[in-house]
Amino acid sequence: MPGATAAATAAYRAAHAELPGAHFRTLDSLAVSSIGLGTYLGEEDDQIDRGYGQAIVDAANSGCNLLDTAINYRAQRSERVIGQALVALEREGGFTREQFVVCTKGGYIPFDGGVPVDPGQYVRDTYLRTGILQPEDVVGGGHAMTPRYLEDQLGRSLGNLGLAAVDVYYVHNPETQLGSIPRKDFLVRIRAAFEMLERQVAAGRVGRYGVATWNGFRTRPDAREHLSLAELVREAETVAGRGHHFKVIQLPYNLAMHETYSSATQVVEGERLTPLEAAARFGIAAVASAAILQGQLSRRLPQAMVDAFPGLQTWAQRALQFVRSTPGITAALVGMSRREHVAENLAVARAEPNEAGVASLFRQV
C-alpha cells in the first residue's frame, strides 16, 4: 500500500465535517488530526495487542488519522498491531491506507515480540554477526543510527506494518549519541542518516523524515545532549539542498514539560528562539509527545486548568486541550490502548482549540 496523500487525507477531513475545522492541521501537505494515537505503553502480550487494535479502529472512526509508533515499542508488537488494524479498517471500515499518516522510528535496538532469554546473544546473532552493526556503532547500551542499521530497521518496520511506505520516519532520540561521541562526529553521523533517508524518499519507502527526541531540543545550547535545529537543517540542506525532506520533529510537551513553548533553547542566525519558533522559522512541523505524561496529568490538576479550559470533563481532556491549543503544535500524541481512553481523548476533538486558555496558564507560571 502506498503512503498517505494530500487528497486522501483531505477526504478523511471532509468525512469528519462535524468536527471543528481547527482539529485538522497541515503536515507537509497532509491533513492530520490534532490528536494522534501513540503506542508506546503496555505489556508485550496479546491482551494489550487486542486493546490497541480496537483502540485504533475506534480512533479512526472518531477523527484521528495520525498513528505513531517505533520499532522498539513493545518489542515490535505495536507496529504489527497498527499494520493489522489498517488492514481491518480498509476491509471492514471503508477507509483507505492513504487516509492515515503512519509514523515510526528507528534507533534503539529492538527485541522481537518480547525480551529474549539472553538479550546479549540475541543482539549478537541478529545484528553483529550479520554485519548490520559494528560494535563501535552502538552507544548507550543499545542505540545506533548508521545508514546500514537504519535501512535494516526501516525494512523491518515496513514488514511489521505491512506497508510499502511510512509517511514519517524519525531518527529516534539521536541526542543519545552525544553522550558518547563528540558533536562533530555526531553531525557526520546524522548527515549520513539523512543521506540514507533521502534515498528512501526517492525510492518511495518514506514520505518525509525527522527526529523524535526527548531532551535534545529542550535543553540549553551548552548542554552536552543539546540538539540545534539549525544545525540539523543545515545537514539536511548539505545532503539535498532546499528540497530536502526533513519536515518533522517530535518532542515532549505538556503542562509539566513546557520548554518547547516557553524556553528559548534554540539559536537561529544569532537569535534565541523557542523550539516551536525555530520549527516555524524552518517550516518544520512540531508533533508533541507525552501530552498527558503517560497518564500522570490525568489526575487532579490546579483549578486554573478548569478555568482555562471550560466545558471539558476530565483532567486528561484538559491536559490534552492545553497541548493541542498551543500555537505551533501540529498534533498532540497520547497513548491509547483501550477503547475508553479513545472515547475520552477524542471527545476533545469536538472542542475548539483554546489559545487564550494556554496564554492564561502561562501568565500564572
List, in sequence order, every beta strand (DSSP E) within 45-158: 66-68, 101-106
The rounded distance, in Å, linking the Cα atoms of 38 and 65 is: 11
- Let me know: does 34 contact 64? Beta carbons within 8 Å: no
What tens digit of pLDDT does each residue of 144-196 get? 999 999 999 999 999 999 999 999 999 999 999 999 999 999 999 999 999 99
Q: Which of 288, 300, 299 is nearest to 353 (CA)?
A: 288
Q: Which of 27, 28, 30 is nearest to 13 (CA)?
A: 30
Please tell me the CATH superfamily of domain 6-364, with its number: NADP-dependent oxidoreductase domain (3.20.20.100)
What tens digit of pLDDT does each residue of 38-93 get? 999 999 999 999 999 999 999 999 999 999 999 999 999 999 999 999 999 999 98
The rounded distance, in Å, linking the Cα atoms of 165 and 72 is: 18
- The pTM of this model reads 0.97
The rounded distance, in Å, linking the Cα atoms of 143 and 262 is: 30
Q: DSSP of 32-52, one letter per residue?
A: EESEEEE---S-SSHHHHHHH
pLDDT at 294 over 80: no
DSSP state of 106: E
